[in-house]
Amino acid sequence: MNAAANLAQDKMGAKPTATANQDSQNKSEKRTMKACVWHGKEKVALENVPVPQITDPQDALIKVTGTTVCGSDLHLYHGEILQLKDGDILGHELMGIVDQVGEDVTAVKPGDRVVAAFNIACGSCEYCKKKLYTSCEVTNDSSVEEKLYGQKTGGIMGYSHFVGGFAGGQAEYTRIPFANNNLIKVPDSVIDEKALFLSDIVCTAYHAVWDAGCSEGETVGVWGAGPIGLHVVQWLRNVFKAKRIILVDNVEARLHLAQQRWGAEPVNFDEISNVSEHVNKIVPGGLDRVIDCAGFRYTKSIVHKVERAVGLETDASDIINECLRSVRKFGTIGIIADYAGYTNHFLIGALMEKGIRLIGCGQAPIQRHWHECLKHIQDGTFDPTVILTHRFNLDSIAEVYKRFDEKDAGMMKVFIATKFSNPPSEGMPQLQDA
């Protein structure tokens, strides 16, 4: 598919891990469940598959009561992530009720209401001990990732064999490895529609702001007003107390929401052709910090469109170059948006000459931040439902992917219910299935 894919994908063999993945799960289970299965570029389907089983003493089996589709799932949908296989079960954001636990699970018990982290961390390796959970040493068997990046990252639920090959949670049941570390119990006072998003976007956005070192009184630029970018803006305004927030996107409804709710200053790149020139005009000297919440797939220039299309690069540098030109000297750029492989025309001169701190925030170590984020949800300083626009049943999952990809009529974040879900909470979106 692209330059990075030229690596012989499966020929290098799997690295040993401390837990089973989708391929090695016990297939003797006779009960079936509905799950979202990937079958190729822009082809996902709801299918009956075996219910996962406890295969390790540290596993928990979860009855899923809420899941969703993420901007990151769109990379899978478009077939742009290495080692995604026909038949893989997708979904990395989920909550549910603990159904069964392995004998070494002590942190949760059957009946507990829990949210799962999107990343799978053992909780006890060198990186986990430092709370760098997404760098867990023992949950990803991909030798391809190790070869490409020099070291492997940790595993991710429902996100290809590049990050462990674990079956995902867009399903009626899912298995959570290392359950003592990867589940958080949620109090009854926090409704499902708020709790679910602790699995990724709430904590990811918090991590981005925290990791980029944002502090009170600063002027911060945010590229991308999707769920991550909008949550970043909410954290910046309500908790980190930014002075000014400049938000770049071309989806007017998203820009408008951030302007109305959190006083972000919108920059619509459909109307403003030279974004960095404009930013330097409205913020003389440049931005203190920038957070890239858009990502590798969003090309702007013809040259990157062509280079990606013919496989001369995997990732576009259009956005990162705009950020480099817009940040002040010795300012910071945090990249929370996904990048996967190589990019051309990266403005390395600006990085060096301006003394810019470029921070790869990594996949966000959810478990590091989720208690803090839950506290802010409970005390009302952060509300994840501001961007919750739709609710569908799992049966509509293929349609949801399509509409989410098209950024259909105001669709931002979707709550996907299963047969185990509670009814919608008061004031939350009602079912909208056709």
Q: Which residues bind Zn ion (CB under 5 A)?
A: 70, 72, 93, 121-122, 125, 128, 136, 200
Contact 137, 126 (CB under 8 A): yes
DSSP string, 80-135: -STT--TTPBP---EEEEEEEE-TT--S--TT-EEEE-SEE--SSSHHHHTT-GGG
> Smallest distance from the beta carbon of 268 to ligand NAD, in angstroms?
10
Total interface residues for ligand NAD by CB under 6 A: 32
Q: Is 93 in the site for ligand NAD (CB under 6 A)?
A: no
Residue 128 binding target from Zn ion, ligand NAD, none, CB below 5 to 8 Å by type:
Zn ion
Could you tell me where the beta strands, DSSP code E, fall in 197-326? 219-223, 244-249, 265-268, 287-292
Closest approach of Cβ 63 to ligand NAD, in Å? 24
Q: Of the candidates 19, 72, 135, 181, which one interacts with ligand NAD according to CB under 6 A? A: 72
Q: Is residue 227 within 8 Å of residue 204, measured between CB atoms?
A: no
Q: Does 122 bind ligand NAD (CB under 6 A)?
A: no
Q: Which segment (22-30, 58-66, 213-221, 247-255) binds ligand NAD by CB under 6 A?
A: 247-255
Both tokens assigned to 346: 């990266």
Report in angstroms how near the CB of residue 118 gets to Zn ion at its nearest.
6
Residue 59 or 200 with smaller CB distance to ligand NAD:
200
**Residues 6 or more apart from 42 whose CB is under 8 A from it?**
77, 78, 79, 401, 402, 405
The residues in 350-409 that bind ligand NAD, with binding defined as CB under 6 A, are 361, 363-364
Residue closer to ligand NAD (CB basis): 93 or 288: 93
CA distance 327 to 354: 9
Site string for ligand NAD, 21-40 (x = CB under 6 A): --------------------
State how far the Cα of 327 lies from the Cα of 287, in Å rounded to an integer: 4
- Cβ atoms of 415 and 393 within 8 Å: the answer is no
Out of 223, 262, 370, 401, the only residue in the binding site for ligand NAD (CB under 6 A) is: 223
Question: Please, which residues bridge with residue 96 across strands?
Answer: 64, 114
For 276, how many CA atoms within 13 A lie in the half-sphere containing its CB?
Answer: 13
Q: Which helix (H) or strand (E) holds 268?
A: strand 265-268
Q: x/- contact string, 307-346, with ligand NAD (CB under 6 A)?
A: ------------x----------------xxx--------
- Judged by CB under 6 A, the stretch of 141-149, 153-161, 162-170, 294-302 that binds ligand NAD is 294-302
Q: Which lies closer to Zn ion via its Cβ, residue 88 or residue 200?
A: 200
Q: Which is nearer to ligand NAD, 47 or 407 (CB)?
A: 407
Specify the residue, 378 or 389, whose C-beta has the smaller distance to ligand NAD: 389
Bridge partners, residue 243, by sequence: none
Ramachandran angles phi, psi of 107, nearest 5°? -75, -25
**Residue 251 is a binding residue for ligand NAD (CB under 6 A):** yes
Q: If binding is defined by CB under 6 A, does position 115 make contact with ligand NAD?
A: no
Asked if 225 is part of the footprint of ligand NAD (rule: CB under 6 A), the reply reads yes
Q: Does residue 92 touch ligand NAD according to CB under 6 A?
A: no
Q: Is the CB of 362 or the CB of 424 nearer to ligand NAD?
A: 362
Strand partners for 89: 37
Per-residue tokens: 187: 């109090």
Of 14-22, 83-91, 103-111, 224-232, the window that binds ligand NAD (rule: CB under 6 A) is 224-232
Q: Which helix (H) or strand (E) is 75 found in, with range?
A: helix 71-77
Does the footprint of ligand NAD cover residue 120 (CB under 6 A)?
no
Does 254 engage in binding with ligand NAD (CB under 6 A)?
yes
Contact string 190-209 vs ligand NAD (x = CB under 6 A): ----------x---x-----
Residue 252, sorted as left (phi over 0), alpha (psi -120 to 50) or beta, turns out to be alpha
Residue 205 and residue 70 in contact, taking contact as beta carbons nearer than 8 Å? no
68 binds ligand NAD (CB under 6 A): no
| 227 touches, from Zn ion, ligand NAD, none (C-beta below 5 to 8 Å by class) | ligand NAD
d(CA 98, CA 86): 28
Nearest alpha-carbon partner for 389 in 187, 173, 226:
226
**Residue range at the interface with ligand NAD (CB under 6 A); choices 7-15, 19-27, 34-42, 287-295:** 287-295
The string of DSSP codes covering 26-61 is -TT---EEEEEEE-STT-EEEEEEEPP---STT-EE
Residues in touch with ligand NAD (CB under 6 A): 70-72, 74-75, 200, 204, 223-229, 248-251, 254, 269, 293-295, 298, 300, 319, 336-338, 361, 363-364
